[in-house]
Amino acid sequence: MDQLNSKLNEDTVYKMVKVLAAQTQIVAGLIYYLTVLAAPTNCKKSSGIMDSAKCAVDKSQPEKVRKSWSVYPREELAN
């Protein structure tokens, strides 16, 4: 989630609330496809805090968003 937060063009740090879907694909290694439900936290990127584990979900912002992305394990990238 922290890598995704760094790529989002928003000042709010998001935290994963629930995994909605997960798939794997075998090519020359494994690729994981994740769809998660994420919620805004009380942390702002401008404060320098990017670790979503240190942030609490901001209950004043009930909006939750779906985020989807591919994950390539590091050992697969090294080959």
Q: Is residue 79 situated within a structural domain?
A: no
Q: Give yes or no for residue 78 having a pLDDT over 60.
A: no
Residue 19 belongs to some domain of the structure? yes
C-alpha 10/C-alpha 72 separation (Å) is 24
pLDDT value of residue 17: 87
The first and second tokens of residue 26, run together, are: 């075998």
**The pLDDT of residue 77 is above 60:** no
DSSP assigned state of 25:
E
Is there a domain that residue 22 lies in? yes
**Residue 55: CATH number of its domain:** 3.10.450.10
55 lies in a domain?
A: yes
Per the domain annotation, does 53 fall within a domain? yes
Residue 39 belongs to domain spanning:
2-73
Identify whether 46 is part of a domain. yes
Instruction: Report how far residue 14's alpha carbon sits from residue 53's, in angstroms, rounded to the nearest whole number.
Output: 10
3-class SS of residue 23: strand
* pLDDT tens-digit series, residues 16-74: 888 888 998 888 778 888 888 888 999 998 888 778 888 999 988 866 777 777 777 76
- Is 32 within 8 Å of 40 (Cβ atoms)? no
Q: How many domains does the chain have?
A: 1
